[in-house]
Structure 1
Amino acid sequence: MSEPARLELSAMGAVRPPAGAAVAAAQRREQQGFDAVWWADHLLHWFPDSIWTPDLVPQAAAGQTSPHVWFDPVPVIAAVAGATREMRLGIGVTDMVRRHPASLAQTALTLDHLTGGRFVLGVGSGEALNLTPFGMTNERPLSRLEEGIEVMRLLMEADGPVDHRGEHFRLEGASLGLGPVGDAPPPIWVAAHRPRGLGAVGRLADGWLPLATDPGDYGAMLDRVRAAAAAAGRDRDAVVPGLYARVVVAETREDALAAIDGSLLLRFIALTRSAEAFAAHGAEHPLGSGAFGLTTFLPTTLGREDALRLARAVPDAVVRDTVIHGTPDDVAATVLRFVDRGARHVQLTNMTPMADPGRAATSEALLADTVAALRTGAATPE
C-alpha cells in the first residue's frame, strides 16, 4: 500500500513595512517548516476608511493611519528568493485586469528564474475593491480569467511568435523568448468557488486555492473540479487541492471566541462571504440576496454610519464561521477534516493579530503548535 500524500502547509507573507521585517518573516516560516508562503496582491483592504479611527480600531490607535497598506508582491518575492532556499513562493492571488496576461507571464517566468523554480502563480477573477476605485472595469470576469490563463500558457509554452484572437485579448506575432528555468513553466493555481469557476480550475489549473470553512462544501466543490478535469481529458487528480484557511488560534476556545466576537474588522471580513454562507445561519446577506462579497464588496463607498450598520448586521455565528478557530488542537482537527475531504495544501492565514493585536505574539507560538499537530496527525484526519 502506498503511503498517504504529505500535507503541504503554507502561510501568508508579510505585506507591510518595514521591508526587512517582511523578508525576515518569510525566513522564519521556512525555519518553522512551512512548504510555501503566499503574498496577496491588493491595492485596498476590506475596511472602510470611515471606521479606521483610534476609538474603533486598535491598529489605528497604535499608529497605522490607513487600512490600505500593501506591498506589491512581485518585488517582495524577488527579495525573499535570495533569503530562502527551499520554500516555494507564490502570489495568492492576482487578476488579469490589473496585470495583462502577457506581462504576468513574463513576471512569472522572471520569478521562476529568481527563485530557482520555486515560484507559484495564483490567479482569480478579480475583486471590485482593487479595480473600481481605480477606474478599471471587469466585464465577464470568469470569461476573462479563462482566456487569460490560455493566453499565458500559449506565451510561456510557445517556441516562437503566436497569434490569438479572443473576446478579451489579442496577440499578433507575440512572443516571449524567456523560457522557464526548468522543464515546465511555473504552476498556475486558481481561486474559484462557483460552478463555472470550478470547471475552469479542472480544465486549466495546476492547483486550486479556495476559501472554505465547511469541509462538506469543500468536498462538493472538489468533486466538481475533478469531474471537470476528467471531462477535459485530464487525470482526475491533475489539480492539487488547496485550501485558504483563515485561522484564529488561542490558548482556549473561549479566548478564541472572545477575540472573534470583539473584532470589528472580522465583521468586515465576514461581509466578503457569499449569500449562501449567511443563509446557512438563517440570515440574509447585509449586501443583498445573491451577494458574493469577495468579488463585489466596495468598502471605500461606505460612510461611517452605513459601515457600522452593515457590521452590526452580520450575525455572530457568521463571523465565527468565517475563521477556523480554537486551540491549536482544535484548529488542527478542523483542518484535518478538510484533508479527509481531499485537501493536500493548506494555507494557514493567522487572523488572530487582526482580531486582537494584543494576541499577536502568543498566536505566532500557537500557530507553530498547530503546525506540529498537523504534521503529527496529517495521515489520520478526524
Structure 2
Amino acid sequence: MTGFRVGVMNPLVATRPTAEWLTRVDYLGALGARVDSFWVPDHLNSLLPRSLWTPKYCGAAKLVPSIGADLEPWTMLGHLAARNRLGRLRLGVGVTDTGRRNPAVTAQAAATLHLLTRGRAILGISTGEREGNEPYGVDWSKPVARFEEAMATIRALWDSGGELVNRDSPFFPLRNAVFDLPPYRGRWPEIWIGAHSPRMLRATGRYADAYFPFVPHRPVDYQHRLDVVRTAASDAGRDPMSIIPAVWLPVVTGRSRDDVDEALDSEVIKSYALIAPDEVFARHGARHPLGAGFSGAPDILPHTMNEETALSQAAQVPSTLLREIFLNGTPDEVIEQAAQWRDRGVRYIVLDNLSFSQPSLRRGLASVQPFNKIARALKRL
C-alpha cells in the first residue's frame, strides 16, 4: 500500500426519524469527503454508560434515544451496499467478536459481503469485550485462546477449496465441515486485527492483513507494537511489510478550541475514557475509578452503572488523559496530532467522531463540517 488512507467509523445505533438515518448520513458524508472506507462496530450494547445518555448530559440523545440500541453490522453493511451502487467505499466491521460469533458464521458473513460488493469487504476482528459476551451467557474465559482458534478456523475454511475440513480445537472443532463459497476473483476479505497484548500482537503477525488497534495508546506505543507484529509475521514466514499499519482513533473537534475544550469537559465524553486501562491513568497521576489494575474496555460493564456511579467515575478522569487518547481540537490541531501517528508508522487512520457526545446538540451537529475537513485533509498527509 502506498500513500495515506482514511476511513470513517459510524456508531451504528438506532436513531430518529428512521433507525438507519445517522448511518446513512455518515455514509454520504464519507463519500463527500472522498475517504477510502466506511466502518461500523459490532456490539450488543454500548461501551458508554446508558444512564448518562439523556438530554440532560448529551444533546444527541434527542436524535439517538438509546446509546445501547445497537444495530447488527453485517445486515447494515449489506443494506448500504444495496442502496449505494455508485459509492465504491470499502466496507468494514470494526471489529467483530470471536466470543459470541462462531468463526464459521463470521467467515460466511464476510465472504458473502465480499462477493456482493465485488471485493470491498474488510473483516475487522478481535477478542471482543466482556459486555458483549458474559451478560448473554457466553463464556468469557480464555478470550485470547478462543481468538487464536477462531482465526485458525476461518483461515482453514477459506483455504479449503470446498473440500471437507477436519480440525481439532478446544473451542471450534471441525468435523467434515464444508465451506464452498468462492473468494471474489481469488481474494478473500482482508483481515484487520485489533490487538494490544503481546500474545495478540503475535497472533496479528500470523493471521492479519492489517494491524488495527483501538485506543487508548500513544504513537510511540503503536510503533513498538507494530515492530512486534512484524517480527511475528517474519517468524511465521510472511512478508512483514505486507501488513497494513492502521489505527482507529476517536476525534473530538469543533469550530474553535473553546468549543472543543467544553466538549472534552462533558460527562459523557469523560465517561468514554473509562475504557482506558489503569496503566494509562497512572501516567496521569491517577488510579482508574474502577480500581487499581483495571483492564479497561475488555472488562467494563457500563450498562450496569447508574447515573450517580457513572458521574462519580467520569469526574475522576484527568483532563490530560482525554487529550492523550483522543485526537482533539480544531482541524489544524487534529491534523498535527495525526501526523505524529504517521511518523510512528501508521498509514491508515479510521476516524470516529465523538463530538456528538457533548451536551450541546447544536455544537455536536456543527462538528460535522470540521470533522469532514479533517478526513479530507488527512488524505493529503
Q: TM > 0.5 between the two? A: yes
Per the alignment, residue 118 of structure 1 pairs with 120
Contact 2:276–2:295 under 8 Å retained in 1:
yes
Per the alignment, residue 151 of structure 1 pairs with 153
Shift of 1:63: 6.2
Cα distance in 2 between the residues matched to 1:57 and 1:243: 27
Cα deviation 1:333-378 (Å, max 9, x = unaligned): 11111111111110011111113432233211112221333233x2
Per the alignment, residue 240 of structure 1 pairs with 244
Cα distance in 1 between the residues matched to 2:64 and 2:80: 24
Matched to 2:139, the amino acid is T
Cα distance in 2 between the residues matched to 1:128 and 1:297: 7
Per the alignment, residue 108 of structure 2 pairs with 106
Per the alignment, residue 315 of structure 1 pairs with 318
Per the alignment, residue 134 of structure 1 pairs with 136
Query: Which stretch of structure 1 is more off in the superposition, 15-24 or 229-238?
Result: 15-24
Per the alignment, residue 374 of structure 1 pairs with 378
Cα distance in 1 between the residues matched to 2:64 and 2:337: 33
RMSD of aligned alpha carbons: 1.8
Cα distance in 1 between the residues matched to 2:320 and 2:42: 29
Cα distance in 1 between the residues matched to 2:11 and 2:288: 31
Contact 1:96–1:126 under 8 Å retained in 2:
yes
Matched to 2:106, the amino acid is L
TM-score with structure 2 length normalisation?
Answer: 0.92
Contact 1:23–1:79 under 8 Å retained in 2:
no
Cα distance in 2 between the residues matched to 1:14 and 1:313: 25
Aligned residue for 2:249, secondary structure, equals strand
Alignment of 1:160-309 (within 5 A): 160-212=163-215, 213-261=217-265, 263-309=266-312
Per the alignment, residue 29 of structure 2 pairs with 28
Shift of 1:132: 1.9
* Structure 2 segments unaligned to the other structure (5+ residues): none
Cα distance in 1 between the residues matched to 2:376 and 2:87: 21
The structure showing larger relative contact order (alpha-carbon pairs under 8 Å, at least 6 residues apart) is: 2
Cα distance in 2 between the residues matched to 1:304 and 1:364: 28
> What number of residue pairs does the alignment pair up?
372
Contact 1:46–1:268 under 8 Å retained in 2:
no
Contact 2:58–2:361 under 8 Å retained in 1:
no
Cα distance in 1 between the residues matched to 2:183 and 2:124: 17
Aligned residue for 1:296, secondary structure, equals coil
Matched to 1:42, the amino acid is H
* Structure 1 segments unaligned to the other structure (5+ residues): none
TM-score with structure 1 length normalisation?
Answer: 0.92
Cα deviation 1:262-313 (Å, max 9, x = unaligned): x211122100011121111111111122222110000122233322221222
Cα deviation 1:44-70 (Å, max 9, x = unaligned): 11233433444334344x264422121
Cα deviation 1:104-148 (Å, max 9, x = unaligned): 111111101111110000111111111122222222111111110
Provide the identity percentage: 34
Cα deviation 1:8-55 (Å, max 9, x = unaligned): 100013513422553353133123211001100111112334334443
Contact 1:147–1:166 under 8 Å retained in 2:
yes
Contact 1:245–1:347 under 8 Å retained in 2:
yes
Contact 1:90–1:120 under 8 Å retained in 2:
yes
Cα distance in 1 between the residues matched to 2:375 and 2:310: 36
Matched to 1:80, the amino acid is L
Shift of 1:204: 1.1
Cα distance in 2 between the residues matched to 1:136 and 1:239: 31
Cα distance in 2 between the residues matched to 1:28 and 1:368: 7
Matched to 1:305, the amino acid is E
Per the alignment, residue 7 of structure 2 pairs with 10
